[in-house]
Amino acid sequence: MFEKRGEGVITRFAFGWRMLRSFAATLAIVILSLAFGTAGYSYFGPMAWDDGLLNAAMILTGMGPVEPHLETRAGKLFATFYALYSGLAFLSMVAIIMAPVLHRFLHHFHLEDEG
């Protein structure tokens, strides 16, 4: 996916496409995570789908739940595991977005060291 050590830095246009692909991958993770969280909160909560979506979005972004008092044990267990998943998903999304930028930065300075 990235250029090798001996290759030059890619063009800005190619870098823009690489960033767009990273953004698209991150957007896919967000959409799937919100769908999973909404379904889980709606089923296990039990909550209306819009309340489930709001809770899923707030947990996924690290803000915390809007409705902290879940009534069922299944809802509490789902919220626990969704919160753990959301932390990992958030870190993964940051890594996916930052990887091309950091690679370009380090690749640029590696080429300067050789030349």
Give the per-residue pLDDT at 111: 55
Mean pLDDT of the chain: 87
Q: Say whether pLDDT at 34 is over 70.
A: yes
Q: Say whether pLDDT at 93 is over 90.
A: yes
Asked if residue 108 belongs to a domain, the reply is yes
Asked if residue 89 belongs to a domain, the reply is yes
Asked if residue 22 belongs to a domain, the reply is no
**pLDDT tier at 103, thresholds 50, 70, 90:** confident
Query: How many domains does one find in the chain?
Result: 1
Q: What percent of the chain has pLDDT over 90?
A: 59
Instruction: Give me the domain span that covers residue 91.
Output: 27-114
CB-based contacts of 10, cutoff 8 Å, min separation 6: 3, 18, 104
Measured between alpha carbons, how far is 53 from 68 in angstroms, rounded to an integer? 14
CATH code where residue 52 lies: 1.10.287.70
Asked if residue 17 belongs to a domain, the reply is no
Asked if residue 4 belongs to a domain, the reply is no
